[in-house]
Structure 1
């Protein structure tokens, strides 16, 4: 694996950083004080991203994307992740980014026209409805939502929650258990029998559309609403989730980088006990630990991205990266808050916002404990090799 960046990727990284510094980061304070305007702010930034030819880095050129490799995408999403607005501005934020990958792999020509193309263009948003209260979540085999055949279609019955982006989504990819097995369905937001019960109050506030609780009650869909084949829902969900876990790591790694930048800038000018904070060994240790962990996290992400570019599955690597990166990012932001003290817990700089937003990353897309168990089981029956 070549760890050097070619001229194209290096130039793209610089363009994304310039976009963040010139257009995205200046909008953060407005977004923080007008969180209800988050979607409008993001849409305006998407237009700017299109004008700068930075829009949709994760999709092929025929869909209007940049056609990047996975390693290139890792570089771009880390830069975009330096602001919580960045990935949304590029139309590369969860859950839409993962849903686009899944639709691109599995959707029928009709489904591509109806769902994928508008999503890729940034005209609509979507949701992925798998998690259930006391049902499917970290353990998808607990799936309770049912899909019963009726004529030439299905009737969906069940309840979903923590469906990210639910409020305002145009459609949902819904996982339900049909007679043949777990199956994915494309369900329009205005489908009869689908109801958004509420947006769940959570500690993280910067997700466009929040996290919704959905009720499927006598929700009738046609056969053509099936995404892929009936009974292959778990297989398709894994096809989506492994790369989606990795792109989560790419984006959140940018938050750790930005948090560290803010902490270092402060440490270099703030004086305490007769010298700058940067001259205190305790602060140097914290900065050193963060740099080492960011470096290790980046290498894990790049290695998994390299394997994807070779056409390999990354179930093991994605789980390892999800655990390590999510915990390293949390520690990096925590140290940055500690170094900046009162300023860090204020909202004069975004560290306290980062602190709230990154904590759920250790739970979303599978808690660390579940991934550790999976990694451990696989590791027990394989040799330690690259």
Structure 2
């Protein structure tokens, strides 16, 4: 049993700072970190970057030219640039910008390049033009002052790349522009700690199928020319809209992963590349479709298109492409089927954690984006839900 005296001794020991313990031991020790009040920066004993770079950043902020330490640091970095690189920066003249405007931002851009180039694999040719035009826009259109913390702000970069670049610039080029400008931002204003950007070519949300769409898809499945195609079209709809599986999960689903209970409940163990992902219960309206298909299969056979050998998700688009589809029938995609399953579960008031677990999600992003498609209850029902009596 620990005595009160030993507890007291432990507390007294923990209250002593590491420096006090070092002095008591008779050994000197360099502090791991100190604070420079003049520069308003933390100084680490184990530097993660050269201190000259950290000091030079102050040069790109208001009053930086009055800071002797920053002045010496930026000058040191300038002299370390290769002669040909320094010459390229010096001779660069942006096309189409008023000469007075270009002159106003020239030194700021030059020194941003000076800070960045030693820290990146990008060349001066790649960086200087997009950064110059971005800084010009920030200063002369937005009205920002020449302050690295203001200009090299992630939101400002995102706005410029998404909204201000010409509309005919391809998504790939926009990604390059953002990567180049962001790399400079990371070098000259790391304390901004910009968050990870949203992909410029992010897929738009595919709307779930409506009730009328699902009726049309049932007609599509039953209208195929062979029994095998009709059965697999129905299974595809069931696995998407009734289980919420992704393309690769459907493509790799085998009969032994499906268990049919005497009650009629059907559960599926989702396994991809041999790794068990989760357990999902099939929606009641699709239980019979899955159960009927599985009962005909031997062990190790695929549930969808059992006569195939390929396991990649291209088998689904290939199958859909070979089917006949009458005019007005919605295009069959697994993403829309899965989104339909999400909306159905939310309309059935399945709790969020259960839904995330069944869907294999790590975040609420997909669920929140699909919430707009969930039918809203009547006002009285909403009140009863919030009251906890419905």
Normalising by structure 2, we get a TM-score of 0.21
Determine which structure has more spread, i.e. the larger CA radius of gyration: 2
Structure with more relative contact order (C-alpha pairs < 8 Å, separation 6 or more): 1
